[in-house]
A and B are shown apart, each in its own frame.
Chain A
């Protein structure tokens, strides 16, 4: 120390107060929060997540949104009269929701119809027997047809109900009364007016049209979506639980346990899913539970393999050794120490697993291998629509849009999640 530095010149900066660590001013960002921030930056995935949420939301409320119910003995008969109605929605006519349809018939048939039903007759190109095509307002056409061209048989109770309403409101529903024939009333009636007054169907617009049995396609699609999603979530959660437990045990303990589980997995993985599904369905019949069972027979293998390798990777780390030294038991080490390290990888593979289940379920119900007797599934709707797509394209269009949108948003969402959880993989696809 040199001489010209005088001791008196030095002043203590800090002598009385005690210094503490400053508290951190920024907020701490945890693992999930960090992932969420990264996820938010990926615009496509955020949009996909929103679409996905609205699809799931619609699957929950959609079936009840536009229910139409025809009750009573003749319900199916009335519904059958409303078959193959094209989509119609007020305000969306410009998008094709105009309730119009091309019909084929002899020119005379279209000339007979009253004003306003036939929109355009394409008379330039008749077919071999002289039939031409015409664009008609199909709703009005159906109403006219069932009101004027055909007789309707009514039950006595229905007949009396109509008479009652007619007297009460001063309107005419029955235009021609043929009286009681063989126990039922043969009449001609204003069909849509009848449905309105008796069943309360005042707004005869089917947004997505109707199918061969006169069921509202809009309701059907969301009912099918509900089933698809329920199966997919059910299968995924079962497979996740089984896969995690088995994979964890096999990866953590290793040795003989691992060897046995691996050999069993190998055999199971050689069993084609098609075989499992077919045999179970042939043996136990078609029910969603059997389908779920078929999916969970071998579906957990992938997840268990993934978990196993993650456990292999982390089980010899120092912090695991530390936990063990402190006296933690195996289940605790597995659940609290190793599992959280592996959770990111697992989440992403799981999110991408759900759409694959939806895909498989839709495919096999499209093929008719899965064929729930009474339940609607999207694949079934598609295959029904495919048979009549020449005349009623909307029947295949709406289910197709739905399933494509669902798959697309699930995959985009899954990719976004993967990028968020494993930044090192970002953009690698």
Chain B
């Protein structure tokens, strides 16, 4: 087990290095990169050229860039914000996490609950109702849901006075107003989370409930509830739980859409800003963060499969 985990972590480092190197090379190759990053001031230009190893082979530049991260924790200066990219990311990640954690925590019980309900009442009215809701909310893009919500809540029903999330300063002035401005983005995220989770829970649980051992459970005298919870749900959770565990890491990545619609000052919106301004170091920093996050999520998901279900053999050899 330990050997397998170490192997996987080592492999992730190799993969991450290759991917980040690819991104690095590609960004350095952009036609207006040098001009944009170096700027016009000769003094900073010289400093940057030395720091980032201009004119040296690309591998050496990559090494320098890597060394800078390890030694100083610096990902380079953002062009527009005149701050270190890693400092900006550190500022913005908590904002995104704060927004994402509520729907994540609320979504799990609601989604699984609805999924169980639909699976137990399969092909009855409840199931049709839940399944219709699920297919609608899976299909309708979140930017549509978000926009509609903004229009009706703010402009038609006038429940809230602003369609956007309020900055932290406003919290001091009016705490209640600040908190309520978070309701809409949380709702949109929650809807997406619940719809996906309900769908997969219903699917997995339906499959388990129709298997032979469920009949055995009933014959040996368990009630329907006992059988479903202890035997059905536990087996159905095997493919679901790793995704949920992985999702916990993923709350650090801001949702680009939600942050744009509701103007949340998180990582997602900082990336969109960087993209529009051709802020290359910022783009590079975000993509690196995003890649590493994605790879780690995959790793956690894979490892938790083995932890949750001992039948899945870790690092099993050839099939």
Interface residues of A, Cβ cutoff 8 Å to B: 266-267, 270-272, 274-275, 278-279, 282-283, 355, 359, 362-363, 366-369, 382, 386, 389-390, 393, 396, 400, 403-404, 407-408, 410-412, 415, 427-429
List the one stretch of B165-173, B213-221, B283-291, B307-315 in contact with chain A.
B283-291
Residue contact A368 to B272, C-beta cutoff 8 Å: yes
Chain B residues 265 to 286 lying within 8 A of chain A, measured CB to CB, are 272, 275-276, 278, 283
In the assembled complex, which residues on chain A have CB atoms less than 8 Å from the CB atom of B18?
267
Count, chain B residues at interface, CB 8 A: 48
Given known A-B contacts A283-B30, A363-B257, A367-B260, A272 and B144 have beta carbons under 8 A apart: no
Residue contact A274 to B147, C-beta cutoff 8 Å: no
Residue contact B30 to A403, C-beta cutoff 8 Å: no
Given known A-B contacts A412-B135, A427-B122, A278 and B275 have beta carbons under 8 A apart: yes
The complex places the Cα of A415 from the Cα of B143 at a distance, in Å, of 23
Sample of 11 further A-B pairs with CB below 8 A, known A282-B275, A386-B143, A407-B140: A270-B294, A272-B291, A282-B283, A283-B30, A389-B151, A404-B140, A407-B139, A411-B135, A412-B135, A427-B122, A427-B123
Which residue from B26, B257, B295 sits with its C-beta under 8 Å from A367?
B257
The complex places the Cα of A272 from the Cα of B286 at a distance, in Å, of 11
CB-nearest residue of chain A relative to B278? A282
In the assembled complex, which residues on chain B have CB atoms less than 8 Å from the CB atom of A386?
143, 147, 261
Residue contact A274 to B290, C-beta cutoff 8 Å: yes
The complex places the Cα of A396 from the Cα of B148 at a distance, in Å, of 9
B199 in contact (CB, < 8 A) = yes
In the assembled complex, which residues on chain A have CB atoms less than 8 Å from the CB atom of B31?
283
B29 in contact (CB, < 8 A) = yes
In the assembled complex, which residues on chain A have CB atoms less than 8 Å from the CB atom of B138?
411
In the assembled complex, which residues on chain A have CB atoms less than 8 Å from the CB atom of B260?
367
Which residue from A282, A359, A389 sits with its C-beta under 8 Å from B141?
A359
The complex places the Cα of A275 from the Cα of B139 at a distance, in Å, of 25
The complex places the Cα of A220 from the Cα of B168 at a distance, in Å, of 40
Chain B residues 16 to 36 lying within 8 A of chain A, measured CB to CB, are 16, 18-19, 22-23, 26-27, 29-31
Residue contact B150 to A367, C-beta cutoff 8 Å: no
Given known A-B contacts A267-B15, A396-B151, A404 and B290 have beta carbons under 8 A apart: no
Given known A-B contacts A367-B256, A408-B135, A275 and B16 have beta carbons under 8 A apart: no
B92 in contact (CB, < 8 A) = no
Which residue from A279, A367, A408 sits with its C-beta under 8 Å from B136?
A408
Residue contact A429 to B272, C-beta cutoff 8 Å: no
The complex places the Cα of A366 from the Cα of B144 at a distance, in Å, of 10
B4 in contact (CB, < 8 A) = no
The complex places the Cα of A407 from the Cα of B141 at a distance, in Å, of 8
CB-nearest residue of chain A relative to B138? A411
B161 in contact (CB, < 8 A) = no
In the assembled complex, which residues on chain A have CB atoms less than 8 Å from the CB atom of B256?
274, 363, 367
Residue contact A429 to B199, C-beta cutoff 8 Å: yes
CB-nearest residue of chain A relative to B142? A363
In the assembled complex, which residues on chain B have CB atoms less than 8 Å from the CB atom of A359?
141
Which residue from B19, B22, B141, B291 sits with its C-beta under 8 Å from A403?
B141
0/1 interface trace, chain B 25-54, chain A, CB 8 Å (1 if under): 011011100000000000000000000000
Chain B residues 166 to 207 lying within 8 A of chain A, measured CB to CB, are 199, 202-203, 206-207
Can you list 30 residue pairs at the A/B interface with Cβ under 8 Å?
A266-B15, A270-B15, A270-B16, A270-B19, A270-B294, A271-B19, A272-B287, A272-B290, A275-B287, A279-B23, A282-B30, A359-B141, A362-B141, A363-B256, A363-B257, A366-B257, A367-B260, A368-B272, A382-B143, A382-B144, A386-B143, A389-B151, A390-B151, A390-B155, A404-B139, A408-B139, A410-B139, A427-B122, A428-B206, A429-B206
Which residue from B15, B122, B136, B151 sits with its C-beta under 8 Å from A393?
B151
The complex places the Cα of A359 from the Cα of B18 at a distance, in Å, of 29
The complex places the Cα of A170 from the Cα of B107 at a distance, in Å, of 71
CB-nearest residue of chain A relative to B115? A429
Residue contact A428 to B203, C-beta cutoff 8 Å: yes
The complex places the Cα of A404 from the Cα of B136 at a distance, in Å, of 9
Which residue from B144, B151, B199, B291 sits with its C-beta under 8 Å from A271?
B291
For the complex formed, measure the closest distance between the CB of B280 and the CB atoms of chain A, giving whole angstroms. 8
Interface class of chain A by DSSP: helix
The complex places the Cα of A396 from the Cα of B256 at a distance, in Å, of 19
CB-nearest residue of chain B relative to A266? B15
Interface residues of B, Cβ cutoff 8 Å to A: 15-16, 18-19, 22-23, 26-27, 29-31, 122-123, 131, 134-136, 138-141, 143-144, 147-148, 150-151, 155, 199, 202-203, 206-207, 256-257, 260-261, 272, 275-276, 278, 283, 287, 290-291, 294-295, 298
Which residue from B134, B151, B206, B294 sits with its C-beta under 8 Å from A427?
B206
The complex places the Cα of A412 from the Cα of B139 at a distance, in Å, of 9
Residue contact B291 to A270, C-beta cutoff 8 Å: yes
CB-nearest residue of chain A relative to B127? A427
In the assembled complex, which residues on chain B have CB atoms less than 8 Å from the CB atom of A428?
203, 206-207
In the assembled complex, which residues on chain A have CB atoms less than 8 Å from the CB atom of B148?
400
In the assembled complex, which residues on chain B have CB atoms less than 8 Å from the CB atom of A382?
143-144, 147
The complex places the Cα of A372 from the Cα of B27 at a distance, in Å, of 21
Given known A-B contacts A270-B16, A283-B30, A275 and B143 have beta carbons under 8 A apart: no
CB-nearest residue of chain B relative to A389? B151
Residue contact B15 to A279, C-beta cutoff 8 Å: no
In the assembled complex, which residues on chain B have CB atoms less than 8 Å from the CB atom of A283?
26, 29-31
For the complex formed, measure the closest distance between the CB of B37 and the CB atoms of chain A, giving whole angstroms. 13
In the assembled complex, which residues on chain B have CB atoms less than 8 Å from the CB atom of A389?
147, 150-151, 155
The complex places the Cα of A282 from the Cα of B271 at a distance, in Å, of 14
In the assembled complex, which residues on chain B have CB atoms less than 8 Å from the CB atom of A266?
15
In the assembled complex, which residues on chain B have CB atoms less than 8 Å from the CB atom of A274?
256, 287, 290
In the assembled complex, which residues on chain B have CB atoms less than 8 Å from the CB atom of A396?
147, 151
Which residue from B16, B131, B151 sits with its C-beta under 8 Å from A429?
B131
For the complex formed, measure the closest distance between the CB of A16 and the CB atoms of chain B, giving whole angstroms. 56
The complex places the Cα of A270 from the Cα of B17 at a distance, in Å, of 11
The complex places the Cα of A403 from the Cα of B139 at a distance, in Å, of 9
The complex places the Cα of A363 from the Cα of B268 at a distance, in Å, of 14
The complex places the Cα of A74 from the Cα of B202 at a distance, in Å, of 60
CB-nearest residue of chain A relative to B18? A267
CB-nearest residue of chain B relative to A385? B147
For the complex formed, measure the closest distance between the CB of B149 and the CB atoms of chain A, giving whole angstroms. 11
In the assembled complex, which residues on chain A have CB atoms less than 8 Å from the CB atom of B151?
389-390, 393, 396
In the assembled complex, which residues on chain B have CB atoms less than 8 Å from the CB atom of A267?
15, 18-19
CB-nearest residue of chain A relative to B25? A279
The complex places the Cα of A44 from the Cα of B278 at a distance, in Å, of 46
